[in-house]
Amino acid sequence: MRVMATRALDDGDDRDVGLRAESKNAMKKRLKRQRRRDAALMKRAEAKRRKADVAASTKAAFHDAVNAMSSEARDAFFVERGARIEARRRETAARKERRRAQLSSAYGLVIDCDEDLTTTMERERWGSLMKQLRAAYERNCKTTAPFKMSFTRMSEAFEEQMGRMNAGWENWHVVRSGKTLRETAAESETTAKSLVYLTADSERELREIEAGKTYVIGGFIDRNRHKGLTLRKARELGVEHARLPIGEFLETRGAPVLTVNQTADVLTSFLERGDWGEAIEAVVPARKVVKIATNRSNEADAKIKDAERARDEDEDEDEDEDASPTADDDDDAPTSTDGAPR
Ligand SMILES: C[S@@+](CC[C@H](N)C(=O)[O-])C[C@H]1O[C@@H](n2cnc3c(N)ncnc32)[C@H](O)[C@@H]1O
């Protein structure tokens, strides 16, 4: 229904130069949008004013405190403050350098967030997966041996939830190629040859992490209900695949299937230390370990015994898959003691 029409006249000429019409509903919506915008502007201005008030009173309190000091105390205070500011400046510079190194690393790590995986897993687990992505990213930010990390193209729904779960993730130092893994693998033979899909089901064991290669982790939580899924995908795409060499260092309860961030953590620890045994022992949750493989040292054996003791104490505790996804938040812990899916 037309409820409003404006007729514009041009220099007294009654020729129509524009006829704009707006339905009642459209007008209501427009006014509502306007009111919302005005309210948001007012809220922002108020927050800014409050922030300025707090800053002014903090500054005044600082000056009062400094003025109340003896001259020796004041000198000591400023020396200590200068050192603190300098340490912070150095830390910021080091962080920037680490970030820069992240994007120029010769070692590639891609998390496969393709829709085929995220729609196969239960949607209720998306949140946990997103926490794992964040944990993997944060680990990569902290190391001195970072990977050039990337995420493949996500579905709209997944990306929308990612924005809510990991606010600001668009600014992470990761590459977002805008392509699915399938599209990337199909780009050229050279690209396909540079990819190594990591999967616990591969018959090949990863021996080295090579510069120029990109290691793929399946962005997937399935509590082992889809065994062999990423292996099939790797074969379908015609890319290399490999499992972590866990069995060589640890005897585990059931199949050693790790979470996304644990897998990334093992890779990063290996880049840092150059030793698979150490990298694996540092990451694989103690409750999964039965015993250390015989080729490991006594020292490592003692470490595992400690871990076993801790595990026995924790055994009765439930796994909380929404807890922070550290090595012990093994929300893929898929197996009972006999290795069967729970
Ligand atoms: C929870 S697992 C998903 C298991 C799933 N059934 C599959 O087919 O990959 C998440 C990802 O971590 C990586 N991953 C876990 N354990 C691994 C292992 N032992 N060796 C290599 N990669 C592993 C794989 O990339 C895997 O896709």
Q: Which atom of ligand 1 is nearest to the CA of 217?
A: 25
Pair 117, 266 in one domain: yes
Is 0.75 surpassed by the pTM of this model?
no
Q: Is 69 inside a domain boundary?
A: no
Pair 117, 211 in one domain: yes
pLDDT (average), residues 156-166 = 97
Strands (E), the chain: 5-7, 19-21, 108-112, 148-151, 175-176, 195-198, 214-218, 240-242, 250-252, 289-292
Using the CB atoms, write b or e for 151-170: b if 16+ within 10 Å.
Answer: bbbbeeebbebbeebeeebe
- pLDDT value at 96 more than 70: yes
Is residue 175 classed exposed, middle or buried when 0-12, 13-18 and 19+ CB atoms within 10 A define those classes? Answer: middle
Question: Count of domains in the chain?
Answer: 2
Q: Is 135 inside a domain boundary?
A: yes
pLDDT (average), residues 225-233 = 96
Which position has the token pair 């055994």?
A: 315
Q: Is 215 inside a domain boundary?
A: yes
Q: Which atom of ligand 1 is nearest to the CA of 233?
A: 8
Pair 250, 112 in one domain: yes
Pair 269, 192 in one domain: yes
Q: Is 259 in the pocket of ligand 1 (CB under 6 A)?
A: yes
Q: Is 97 inside a domain boundary?
A: no
Q: Is 1 inside a domain boundary?
A: no
Which position has the token pair 């496969």?
A: 112
Pair 109, 141 in one domain: yes
- Dist. CA 182 → ligand 1 center (Å): 18
Reading the block at residue 261, the tokens are 């961030």
Q: Is 332 in the pocket of ligand 1 (CB under 6 A)?
A: yes
Q: Which atom of ligand 1 is nearest to the CA of 218?
A: 27
pLDDT tens by residue, 2-19: 444 444 434 444 444 445
Average pLDDT over the chain, rounded to an integer? 84
Q: Which residue puts its alpha carbon closest to atom 26 of ligand 1?
A: 218
Comparing 77-81, 97-101, 286-290, the range with the smallest average pLDDT is 286-290
CA 130 → CA 124, 151, 325, distances in Å? 11, 12, 10
Domain that holds residue 154: 105-288
Pair 314, 191 in one domain: no
Is residue 173 classed exposed, middle or buried when 0-12, 13-18 and 19+ CB atoms within 10 A define those classes? Answer: middle
pLDDT at residue number 3? 42
Q: Is 160 inside a domain boundary?
A: yes
pLDDT at residue number 136? 98
Q: Is 37 inside a domain boundary?
A: no
For CA atoms 291, 293, 297, 300, the dihedral sign is: negative
Q: Which residue puts its alpha carbon closest to atom 4 of ligand 1?
A: 224
Pair 156, 233 in one domain: yes
Question: Of residues 61 and 330, which shows the higher confidence score?
Answer: 61
Question: Of residues 325 and 55, which shows the higher confidence score?
Answer: 55
pLDDT (average), residues 16-23 = 65
pLDDT tens by residue, 52-94: 999 999 999 999 999 999 999 999 999 999 999 999 999 999 8
Pair 309, 218 in one domain: no
pLDDT tens by residue, 192-204: 999 999 999 999 9
Give the angle 277-339-113 at the CA atoms, nearest 5°. 70
CB 281 within 8 A of CB 300: yes
Q: Is 267 inside a domain boundary?
A: yes
Comparing 157-166, 221-230, 287-296, the range with the smallest average pLDDT is 287-296
pLDDT band at 320; cut points 50, 70, 90? very low
Helix H or strand E segment including 97: helix 71-104
Pair 115, 223 in one domain: yes
Pair 314, 210 in one domain: no
pLDDT at residue number 296? 54
Pair 305, 253 in one domain: no
Pair 300, 247 in one domain: no
CATH code of the domain in which 238 resides = 3.40.1280.30
